[in-house]
Amino acid sequence: MSMGTFSAYTVNQTSRLVSIIYIDNYGTVSERTIRPLRTYKGRNGYTYIEAYCYLRGETRTFRKDHILTWTGQPSQGVSAPARDVPAQPGAITPPLRVPVEKVYKPAEISRMQPAARKEPKAVIPPHGKKAPSGFGIFFRIITAMGFIGGILYGVWNSPGFELPDLLPDKPGEVYDPEPAARVVVKPAEEPAAPVTAAAPAVEEAAPPPPVTVTTYSEYRGFRIKVDTTGSESACTVEDLQISTTSYYVALRGINDLLFREATGMANGELENIYASADKDGSGALSWEEVIKFQSWLAGAYAYRFNEAALWPYQFMIQRGGDCEDWALFTCGLLRYWGWESYVGAFMPPGGYLGHAITLVYSQQEIIGFGSYSIEEHCYLNGRPVKAGCYIPIDYEKVGDISDAMEADWELKELFVPEEIYGRQM
């Protein structure tokens, strides 16, 4: 993936082995022997060192100010082979030892509970590949594009449904955190002031006193009271002590609160980004808005390898991450809007280097979207997984998977997003 977003680039001229003690973003301290390859300054202002890491057996990136100590002497146990390697600038040294590092835990799938087990149905895999695992999980791409197109065209062009094109098209542009449109509470069209009996004797008709109309609505389990007087509205969420003139702000307050409760994060900038995905200001997230959001995300944020599952605010600050970080950031969006989503970890048949994507739970298939179908409640690596459809979101692909994986890869684990924040993966 593109790494061309750095403002400065210098090649290390000596490329000698150094021993460092490093502390990562989560306070984990490790001692490593590295061979620096280059340094660069990130857009966040920090200096990074890309180096061959003998602990991990591959190239890693270290934030310079996270290096606690730095010595030119190799660590114990890492010595002789280094002399065999010419100190070419930028040369990548073969690993002295290659610890097998798995992106995910060993692919140990717990079997379904015997009572729930049944013979897998025959599934004809796409492109003649091996049939997917016998867990009733398979990927379906619905190809009836004419049908889909007709449905989507019909929805998108139905009266009153107009999707404003407000997301930036060019990569790198900043997402406008302001919602495009806001819900405006129209003055109630209730009868005006009760007409009192005609008073013919009155010479100058006094204006009728303002009438306040109170309406109630329900949003994600909270009751919103709207008092409308003439053209003025006052919205109150009684349980939350929210009082505002804007219905949208009331919804926003509820979404913020529920998101903070679910994730333990309270970051206004992150909430702005998630809230602004509701481009039509409807107070709800649509699939069309998810597609727009992922498209914007793919242009504005980068793939950046790291060793931890990033909290969404970290992903936002670093403007990118690797696969599970992307999945977690999208799960954050969906959590913000009350959708049920998970991070699915997939492995190729017989392989161990996997890929993680967002999976959105849906009781039914969605026309035009591929999905993984779990036909009965089952256990996956010890976790209960409920039956239903799981719609993939993989980078900018919504209802589809990217070329980072194949349709016959097996779902090994399904994570609740908040449970893996900060985990080494």
Given the complex with Ca ion, which of 278 and 394 has the nearer CB atom?
278
State the minimum distance, in angstroms, from the CB of residue 395 to Ca ion: 14
Task: Find the helix packing angle between 247-263 and 323-336, rounded to 10°.
Answer: 130
Which residues in 281-354 belong to E strands, given as ranges?
A: 302-303, 320-321, 341-347
Residue of 280, 400, 408, 413 interacting with Ca ion (CB under 5 A) = 280
Tell whether residue 282 is a contact of Ca ion (CB under 5 A).
yes
Residue 271 near Ca ion by CB under 5 A: no
Where would I find the H helices in 276-360?
287-300, 312-318, 323-336
Question: Contact between 322 and Ca ion (CB under 5 A)?
Answer: yes
Q: Is the dihedral of CA 172, 251, 326, 40 positive or negative?
A: positive
Taking CB positions, which residue lies at the least distance from Ca ion?
A: 282
Distance of alpha carbon 113 from alpha carbon 109, whole angstroms: 12
Rounded CA-CA distance 269/239 in Å is 25
Q: Interacting stretch for Ca ion, rule CB under 5 A, among 50-58, 181-189, 271-279, 411-419? A: 271-279
Within 15-54, which residues bind Ca ion (CB under 5 A)? Answer: none
Q: Compute the distance between CA of residue 359 and CA of residue 413 in angstroms, rounded to an integer.
A: 11
In the numeric block, the tokens 């302001």 are attached to 178
- Minimum CB distance to Ca ion smaller for 52 or for 293: 293
Q: Exposed/middle/buried for 336, CB within 10 Å: 0-12, 13-18, 19+?
A: buried
CB of 188 to Ca ion, least distance (A): 24
Can you list the alpha helix ranges (DSSP code H) found in 16-144?
A: 80-83
358 binds Ca ion (CB under 5 A): no
With respect to Ca ion, which residue has the nearer C-beta, 50 or 322? 322
179 binds Ca ion (CB under 5 A): no
Provide the minimum distance between the beta carbon of 257 and Ca ion in the complex, in angstroms, as a whole number: 19
Which of 50, 256, 271, 278 is the binder for Ca ion (CB under 5 A)? 278
User: At closest approach, how far in Å is the CB of 90 from Ca ion?
Assistant: 25
Minimum Å gap between C-beta 310 and Ca ion is 5
Residue 324: strand, helix, or coil: helix
Binders of Ca ion among residues 283 to 312 (CB under 5 A) are 286, 306
**Closer Cβ to Ca ion, 278 or 408, answer by number:** 278
Closer residue to Ca ion in complex, CB, 18/308: 308
Q: Using the rule CB under 5 A, is 325 a contact of Ca ion?
A: yes
Q: Comparing C-alpha atoms, which of 215, 338, 206, 350 is closest to residue 283?
A: 338
Q: Would you say 322 or 400 has its CB closer to Ca ion? A: 322
Quick one: which H or E segment has residue 45? none
Given a contact cutoff of 8 angstroms between Cβ atoms, the answer to whether 414 and 380 are in contact is: yes
Contact between 256 and Ca ion per CB under 5 A: no
Under DSSP, is residue 203 helix (H, G, I), strand (E, B) or coil? Answer: coil
Least Cβ distance, residue 60 to Ca ion (angstroms): 12
Please state the closest distance from residue 124 (CB atom) to Ca ion, in A: 35
Instruction: Give residue 210's identity as a one-letter amino acid code.
Output: P
- Residues forming contacts to Ca ion in the complex (CB under 5 A) are 278, 280, 282, 286, 306, 322, 325
